[in-house]
Structure 1
């Protein structure tokens, strides 16, 4: 892959003669260029986001090279992160040496092998060459005598915006000015929740609204405004005219569009996401590029025509300095070499650059993790448990935060835990009591197929609705007064005493204040008991069918029981556990609820599934198919609050005698489980120092203190996705680093279950993994900076200050232990499948997308066969 573009151009012929060919061509280029960015969801429905999801047909290494050369973005761990991991014993240096030998064997070079190895081993210490050594006069004399270095490096003039290379008379780069303008217009157009006044003509689309107002923008000069006054009315025409005026050759347009999309990947990603949500907004990314490149032309126009930029040259000095410093080469030895020999030495140093060195360390780090995980799993294989004696079975989300809780729970009694995707296979949108809106409660890579409504008895509902409207009216009035010019002057006098009291209480007694406010709200609202609309309601006006058909009920229950491997040996009590979190003053609160489902907690889905599993008609149908659920087995629902490691019961029907006995036992042991799980988790937080305090109380303080920037670590340090029976990992301390999904290959002759796990939960786990990876290795580009200095903007996301990109990744506090030490280990996800080798081969042969991810280095793959043998793929 060349440096000009990370994507292969799409040569598509437009066969529809009714569509303008030029518009079709530009739309094809935009669609192809858009693969360099990823859709960005609003932060209120935060979803894990793989920033490279459109680039996986290329290898990880190719994308890394391309990003470094075009955007100066480095996606390999920094030397400081690697050396820190090395000092902690997380990297076996033997794997570094093996990786180096493989690289030397596969790359031809015409210098002595011992010289090459000595140079490489010294360079792999990742110690920088002293700057005074590089700037020495003697070194300068030696490099002046050298004629030039032959490399295959090619510089493309159009893979970056032209404005990046031009400065105004104040020395400011024009691209910074351009970005400032584009951010302003994006905020104005996209804001539909914070601004009291919306941008005029918003309904006409981004480009037309901008075009109508740009001629009055005081931030532009009169000449710039005049130049855009007669600009085309259609976005695609404006984009074509701007590209033509800038002199971008047709063959380089896609490169140029990619460069502009990568300049503000957050705002561009939000435009891309919006364009995918509605057919009315499908052209939004085209409009964004039309606005951006039109404004670039207006800013650059006084500087046209531009001189051809020079090719990027390779600096000889640091290459020669590296040979003298690391390779032990003397000045005399260098001077006595022929020009050909000198070129060979410098070419070798050029190829064995800092990026490659850190790549070798990353691969060794990953191999060390794989090796230690395999030893841990293989050495602790246990006997298959007698499930018939199990007191209860708990189905948890695969989320890595469930693993420590499950482990502590299993230690307290004969309890079996099961891992499954936390939406429990239910493609639903939920409509909670008293809400006029529904929201999806499933991974964002899927679409809901049913709507489930929560309802109550009419009298109770009316009373509850009135109380809720009173609360909402108070909140709405406060917002309106705050946004109104005149009433905002009076608002501090009215609200000041109450808000000051609240601020003091939340600052000095956060637990007591939170408990008081929560109890006051719950006492006032008094939410009644509710029922769910599980039976299908025929409503032709509804976008989604309300409830399930009889066939749907059976299909979903059958599917999820098979996915869990729970088709026999049912315990008297089966607990379906969703998960959610609890924190205050946290823009990223939804990120802690679920990294896959757009911030939707899993409790509602757990309740729906448990209710379906208890239906007599569902059980009767499943029994005829061989899945016999005993009469005394009862399904209940709970929610695992990850921030405080507690289990909250949300659905408990009438229990059988055996189920009641199991429930009472669980209630007895749960405080102990919560205590141990919190103690383990809190010990990892950098600002938790007093280990003698009550862990449960401390966990609640972290969750309720509105000044706490790190209520929990979330999914930091995730590194593996293990697909297999619980016996494979039981009694293994996986340190909260593994997604755990149950799977029994013996019940999956066709391989369909495994394929579905890889396509669904496997993809989500990979997205989560790469989001944490990217936010750690390139926080300035893929992260979102310090929480303490973030600004929530337009109800969409966060910025640093008031004019930055819309920040797409995780905050510094989610991945860093301190200013200089990372907490998250940036390792690409290791997927471990417990199945015979032929199952894995079949999966790779049938799933081209997954095979590409493995071959191109986006995920790692291993398997454990029935005899317990580990195999790396």
Structure 2
């Protein structure tokens, strides 16, 4: 191929053609998730681009591009059945959900016909589920142009293209995390690469010459590669998708970059890939990817036909197929045709979910039959995040009947850019769904001279840490740093390894001595206008259903996580708010609710905070289960005893929760049952604190593993239940929310974010090599961009294996989310009807919605056709 083969086609490319290509690239990129930098990780549904379809159809479509499975697989489901995790009642539920029109109770062989007979349609189909041939699914069937070329000719063009792309993307896209880069700052990835690729001696000289002579604009380079590789216009969209999903991790990060910065990162990336492919392939253009891969796919094993499956199932039951009359045989073959072998795992998955859901709804029903508590003012109300890890803290706090707890989204309805006293750029402390509305600063309190001195020491400490990091990552400087400071960093590394908690205590003590943390406060005056404070306070209190009956002390408890040497620390801090802890938000809302003018304005809206109610902020470290009261210096003297008492309550509850979690962490000591002895709780507290400080620990905590349900309702719905830290709990009182505004916000924001988290854990469990991050033990961070497994390859999407499994044992059960709402059913249905995106999630099976009007009412499930009763299934064998 001559250099002219990659020149812009004649006539010159018009702006309209380039715009159409950019639109096609944007459309092709919808199959990708959005992967943010490590410091700002947000949980996403890896299949978010397929949410307009039902889940099995979405998985099947995504399988072509990613090669995913999307479920556990039939051997795992059968093992769960053998262990009692799934039973025949669950399978009966699943069959009726998948095919309600089929008469499952019909006798195929009546019981009076002889021994071994008495089989209904249901029992025969269950035999197929239990014993039918397992059909393996998975395998990518849409190939990139380089992969298609390799399929035909046995070459290794795809490996060369991928390795080259990874190397140049890593150099260009680190956002300045590395202290030196050969191409950072250049005008776009494609132009930077084209200017320097002529010096890349890993490529043959003729290839380098062709690339250097290519078009200067990325769009023109893509179009030139299409022409050189003989890609028909009708195939271009599929080719673009295949190129993007060849290395989906890098492409997903570039999608985020394109959308966040509005640049042409994806266009540049495709220009690089396709130009290199065309230059390496030369004059022998490959067939289209669809043709090449379809030919290879024909070699896959074909599943058994329904007739063979029917005979096999009857044989397992000891039934002669000849005992069936023609109508019964036709009914059986039709049922097995409907539940084809690729669909059979989804019947198992539905049963797997039904087992948990039925148990949860039964427990919620029983919990609500107890008489209501005496209406006595609680001495404290603790508002925790809806995060599943907070469920355990709330449960242990409520061991004291004088404490009430509530659940609310952990940014506390305060969408802010937070500027800490140490300086730096403001952090977006709010969910990814929304943008910060205000910038709020932390300010030092006290005399001007003392405040300024404290501020300078804090800034100096932060600057010193940054300086050490930069020296360690700058070529040449790292050696100088080792020469100058090796005498101290060596012993520090030894202490940090031998005694993580000892090192952490020393580090914190040294920091307190050299740069003591000054007392600070939130600057409301310079951050949030008075009118917006009232709106924020009213919205927060209404959504959590706390508009009356205030305790003397209200605690807003955010959460965070502190772990050492963990690239995925942000995912443990908060998977919704870009890895930013909720402490600053709790402090801001506390300041708003303590503001006298705000309280006066709230009274005009029927919300009367008593004069003796004080609101304070706290933060729960989910790794150590230590809860810290924030801004104690701002508490009035009248409430010092109240705060001290609730601090002891938080210590007690945190220690009990640590003991509860400790027994489930790999390698943890036996801490007893976590509830009976002070000694067991002390052992657990020390152990979980050590795990967070240990830079070699791959299991610092389980995060949100196990999440399976989202409950929206009053605490009376769940109080007293051990929900095993598997349920998001959002407080809601339909009597307060008369116009449904609060419920609408909950269903369209926190529930959607919880669904992202649920899907992230689900697909990281079922497809850890595609939508997970593999094992932490070989992780290699690429600046702040992401993580590789080893020295090269794709950026890892999703969560590490150590977040969902212990060895070969899955800790997270991959269940789709169930939302449980206590509110008028017509109100719920009206909200769903007004939001097509929410309707897609529910109608497609991404989330199952169950509701009831109030205590004692039966549960109903939302369907696109209307509400239907959630009833106990017919037992197997019953007609």
Band of TM-score, shorter chain: 0.7 to 0.9
Matched, 1:711 2:696: no
Matched, 1:373 2:360: yes
What residue is the counterpart of 2:246 in the other structure?
263
In structure 2, relative to structure 1, the CA distance for the partners of 1:581 and 1:256 (3 Å cut) is same
Matched, 1:313 2:298: yes
* Conservation of the 8 A alpha-carbon contact between 2:250 and 2:794: yes
What does the per-residue CA deviation read over 1:487-535, in whole Å, with 9 as the maximum and x for residues that have no partner? Answer: 4444433333322212221222221121111111122111212232211
In 2, the alpha carbon distance for the partners of 1:129 and 1:563 equals 48
Matched, 1:647 2:588: no
Matched, 1:622 2:602: yes
In 1, the alpha carbon distance for the partners of 2:337 and 2:17 equals 43
Q: CA deviation at 1:467?
A: 3.0
In 2, the alpha carbon distance for the partners of 1:559 and 1:266 equals 38
What residue is the counterpart of 1:137 in the other structure?
none
In 1, the alpha carbon distance for the partners of 2:694 and 2:209 equals 53
In 1, the alpha carbon distance for the partners of 2:98 and 2:816 equals 20
Matched, 1:38 2:27: no
In 2, the alpha carbon distance for the partners of 1:115 and 1:864 equals 34
* 1:165-184 → structure 2 map (5 Å cutoff): 165-167=148-150, 173-184=156-167
In structure 2, relative to structure 1, the CA distance for the partners of 1:324 and 1:601 (3 Å cut) is same
Q: CA deviation at 1:754?
A: 0.8
What residue is the counterpart of 1:633 in the other structure?
613
What residue is the counterpart of 1:146 in the other structure?
none
* 1:196-595 → structure 2 map (5 Å cutoff): 196-200=179-183, 202-279=185-262, 281=263, 283-304=264-285, 306=287, 309=292, 311=295, 312-313=297-298, 319=304, 328=315, 354-381=341-368, 382-386=370-374, 388-456=376-444, 458-536=448-526, 547-595=527-575
In 2, the alpha carbon distance for the partners of 1:127 and 1:679 equals 44
Q: 807, 812, 826: which one pairs with 1:838?
A: 826
Give unpaired runs (5+ residues) of structure 2: 1-12, 110-118, 322-328, 673-679, 863-879
Matched, 1:750 2:730: no
What does the per-residue CA deviation read over 1:792-849, in whole Å, with 9 as the maximum and x for residues that have no partner? Answer: 112221110111211121000000022x210001011101111121112111211111
Q: CA deviation at 1:449?
A: 1.1
What residue is the counterpart of 1:855 in the other structure?
843
In 2, the alpha carbon distance for the partners of 1:274 and 1:684 equals 38
* Conservation of the 8 A alpha-carbon contact between 2:377 and 2:550: no
Matched, 1:187 2:176: no
In structure 2, relative to structure 1, the CA distance for the partners of 1:704 and 1:71 (3 Å cut) is closer
Q: Secondary structure at the match of 1:271?
A: helix
What residue is the counterpart of 1:725 in the other structure?
714
Matched, 1:739 2:728: yes
In 1, the alpha carbon distance for the partners of 2:171 and 2:248 equals 18
Q: CA deviation at 1:460?
A: 3.2
What residue is the counterpart of 1:7 in the other structure?
none
In 2, the alpha carbon distance for the partners of 1:300 and 1:447 equals 46
What residue is the counterpart of 1:544 in the other structure?
none
In structure 2, relative to structure 1, the CA distance for the partners of 1:126 and 1:302 (3 Å cut) is farther
What residue is the counterpart of 2:871 in the other structure?
none
Deviates more, 1:52-61 or 1:98-107: 98-107
What does the per-residue CA deviation read over 1:631-668, in whole Å, with 9 as the maximum and x for residues that have no partner? Answer: 11111111111112221011236656874443343234
In 1, the alpha carbon distance for the partners of 2:343 and 2:860 equals 26
What does the per-residue CA deviation read over 1:430-468, in whole Å, with 9 as the maximum and x for residues that have no partner? Answer: 000121311100011110011011122543344334434
In structure 2, relative to structure 1, the CA distance for the partners of 1:666 and 1:102 (3 Å cut) is closer
* Conservation of the 8 A alpha-carbon contact between 1:91 and 1:368: yes
In structure 2, relative to structure 1, the CA distance for the partners of 1:98 and 1:675 (3 Å cut) is closer
* Conservation of the 8 A alpha-carbon contact between 1:168 and 1:174: no
In 1, the alpha carbon distance for the partners of 2:52 and 2:144 equals 25
**TM-score scaled to structure 1, two decimals?**
0.86
In structure 2, relative to structure 1, the CA distance for the partners of 1:485 and 1:234 (3 Å cut) is closer
In structure 2, relative to structure 1, the CA distance for the partners of 1:297 and 1:115 (3 Å cut) is farther
Q: 36, 45, 50: which one pairs with 1:50?
A: 45
Q: CA deviation at 1:372?
A: 0.7
In 1, the alpha carbon distance for the partners of 2:222 and 2:829 equals 47
In structure 2, relative to structure 1, the CA distance for the partners of 1:744 and 1:184 (3 Å cut) is same
Q: Secondary structure at the match of 2:723?
A: coil
In 1, the alpha carbon distance for the partners of 2:832 and 2:433 equals 21
Matched, 1:603 2:583: yes
Q: Secondary structure at the match of 1:167?
A: helix
Q: CA deviation at 1:301?
A: 2.4
Matched, 1:809 2:801: no
Deviates more, 1:247-256 or 1:453-462: 453-462
Q: Secondary structure at the match of 1:511?
A: helix
Q: CA deviation at 1:19?
A: 8.0
In structure 2, relative to structure 1, the CA distance for the partners of 1:98 and 1:490 (3 Å cut) is closer
Give unpaired runs (5+ residues) of structure 1: 1-17, 132-152, 335-341, 537-546
Q: CA deviation at 1:575?
A: 0.6
Q: CA deviation at 1:769?
A: 0.5
Q: CA deviation at 1:100?
A: 3.6
What residue is the counterpart of 1:541 in the other structure?
none
In 1, the alpha carbon distance for the partners of 2:95 and 2:590 equals 54
In structure 2, relative to structure 1, the CA distance for the partners of 1:504 and 1:201 (3 Å cut) is closer
In 2, the alpha carbon distance for the partners of 1:753 and 1:579 equals 23
Q: 3, 15, 20: which one pairs with 1:20?
A: 15
Q: Secondary structure at the match of 1:411?
A: coil
Aligned length: 809
What residue is the counterpart of 1:759 in the other structure?
748
Deviates more, 1:809-818 or 1:217-226: 217-226
In structure 2, relative to structure 1, the CA distance for the partners of 1:214 and 1:578 (3 Å cut) is same
Q: CA deviation at 1:104?
A: 6.4
In structure 2, relative to structure 1, the CA distance for the partners of 1:494 and 1:119 (3 Å cut) is farther
In structure 2, relative to structure 1, the CA distance for the partners of 1:491 and 1:660 (3 Å cut) is closer
Q: Secondary structure at the match of 2:600?
A: helix
What residue is the counterpart of 1:140 in the other structure?
none
* Conservation of the 8 A alpha-carbon contact between 1:784 and 1:810: yes
In 1, the alpha carbon distance for the partners of 2:26 and 2:483 equals 53
In structure 2, relative to structure 1, the CA distance for the partners of 1:404 and 1:20 (3 Å cut) is same
Q: Secondary structure at the match of 1:845?
A: helix
* Conservation of the 8 A alpha-carbon contact between 2:710 and 2:751: yes
In 2, the alpha carbon distance for the partners of 1:859 and 1:830 equals 6
Matched, 1:125 2:130: yes
In 1, the alpha carbon distance for the partners of 2:591 and 2:861 equals 41
In 2, the alpha carbon distance for the partners of 1:490 and 1:675 equals 45
In 2, the alpha carbon distance for the partners of 1:217 and 1:345 equals 64
In structure 2, relative to structure 1, the CA distance for the partners of 1:445 and 1:212 (3 Å cut) is same
In 2, the alpha carbon distance for the partners of 1:483 and 1:368 equals 52
In structure 2, relative to structure 1, the CA distance for the partners of 1:93 and 1:117 (3 Å cut) is closer
State the superposition RMSD in angstroms: 3.2
Q: CA deviation at 1:48?
A: 0.9
In 2, the alpha carbon distance for the partners of 1:102 and 1:401 equals 32
In 2, the alpha carbon distance for the partners of 1:655 and 1:493 equals 49
**TM-score scaled to structure 2, two decimals?**
0.86
Q: CA deviation at 1:260?
A: 1.5
In 1, the alpha carbon distance for the partners of 2:188 and 2:475 equals 28
In 2, the alpha carbon distance for the partners of 1:156 and 1:519 equals 54
